[in-house]
Structure 1
Amino acid sequence: MILDTAAKLCLAVLFLLSLSHHQIFARGDADFLDVRTNLDRDRSGKRGDPKDKYFHESVFHPHYDGRFAATQLGKEDRLPHLTALMQTFLATMADIGAETWIMHGTLLGWWWNQKILPWDSDIDVQVSERTIAFLAKFYNMTEYHFRLPGVKNGRTYLLEVNPHYTIRGIEDKLNVIDARWIDTETGLFIDISTVRANYTARAEGIEGALMCKDKHHYLERDIFPLRDSFFEGIHVKIPFEYASLLEEEYGKKALTLTTYEHHKFNTTSKLWEPMKNIGRPARKRPPSRRPPSIPVP
């Protein structure tokens, strides 16, 4: 069902209902005892990680925080949690006035049907240096509790900023993620990366050069001005040159290949559906898909 603009805006407002938070400012590692919810022991990789690494993914999967999760979720359970993770994050950022936009595999999901890809287990967003500094100063270690449809007692999400965000260079390989929005019930999270001015490249004459600590490089005109659209039923920002950015990162086939990860894209329902015959090879020459229209709120 296609929602009109008013309905979509109403949906976005619903996610802001009963938003409550408190602030706790952290200067160092937020360890298990400081943040644990219902686990009896820490399942993060902290003991095996280098001492200068701030975020410690779980020992059982790199897309879970082991301070909150003991095991992976099944795909059917994971996707609704990721959807709520995205919706609550975007609603919160809009509420506090923090500009953010989706990128990487999350942007690829938007390209196809404005939804999270069903085989994904993580979400990627980006912010500017000004925004990450704002989040670190006023909202680090802030918890938000949401009442969600069909979820008894709601869910709590933690915004955690890596104190190493102030280190700009790509040499800080252990801390390429500058912040996370974490589901304290499941341990699933959103990776938040900062896009920074690349002063070295600019000094060499590359106008508007940008970079992330994860070694991705952009130009200002690739990302700005940001476009308005919808993702998982809520307002979202996307980079201006979204198609060329996706082609550069994933190749042209990623924008046209209609079979992937044992799923087939249904052009009628606009959904990625599980393939019945998993062993059947993907079609080599799938029909091309036109660029998506971008609804303006």
Structure 2
Amino acid sequence: MTGEELLPLALLLLAAALAVTLWAFVAERPPSDPSVPTWPARRSDPPRDVPVLVGAHVVGWRRRSTSAQVADLVVRGALRVVPGDVAQVEVVDLTGLAPVERGFVAALVGHGEPRAGDRAVLSGSDHGRDERLRELQAAVNTLVVREGWRRVPSPPTGRVARRVAMVVVVLLSVPLLRGGWLTGWATMTIAFMAVLTLLPPRLPHVLSDRGVVLRDHLHGLRDHLRLGDREDTRSGTAAHAALLPWAVLFAQVPAWCRGAGSGAEEQADLLALLRRLQVDRPGYGTGPEQSGDPWGEVATGGSRAEHDGAFVRSLD
């Protein structure tokens, strides 16, 4: 067949390829979430009824998440640092803990029903403990994703049908290469649109209303800890102590200590434990979306697969 005879077929296939490409772009366009404010309103109060471990997954700051959860439970009296051994914690009273927090304590002590007096060693290598913490982190991540509290990829529907349609169009357009420059140009254009369509999809991210509120609250709390001056952060010993776990999470322990003044002495054992866990090591996990805590140099935040891709390698 001559180029003129093939031209109608070329135009038809070109139109089909364009239709499939537009279909893919429209169907796979990610919905827009409310953007993080450049200057979120500062919040001096942690979110209520949100465990630190859950908050860490909401904003993706997982590097110090396990250490931060330990600090929270110590501050609230559920755990205590064993006198004379700052590497150990002891169960005191689990009354009022959320299921995530009870699961966390169970992962630390190594059995499903932790009781007062149970102890856990936090420093050093412990494969069983680290595996239990990874499993818990994965479960918390699943909870946060299911509730829509963090942006998470979800594959668009109809993707297979669009790609099959484009492959068929490309195969039908191959004979056009013999019809001259005009039909050859049409084939090259179809091939270019096929590349655009067959690329990995732009995965949509969806936040629930609660997720938006939690995200902005936690960003505001981080800014409060990071930027708040001495008078701004010292709002009473108990209230300021409640901020310590979040200061651990956001790598702001020195700023918390400055704000606490002499009140930091009341948390001396806990601060010693945190130093033992190396949460203040310079350059270690100061950015978001890190993988866990450096307990025995083992990340306890979970794997890339468990966290839908929100993973960044250690800064060390």
Is the shorter-chain TM-score for this pair beyond 0.5, marking a shared fold?
Answer: no
- Between Structure 1 and Structure 2, the one with more strand by share is 1
* TM-score scaled by length of structure 2: 0.23
Q: Per chain length, whose mean CA-contact separation is higher, i.e. which structure has more relative contact order (CA < 8 Å, sep 6+)? A: 2
| Higher fraction of helix | 2
**TM-score w.r.t. structure 1 length?**
0.24
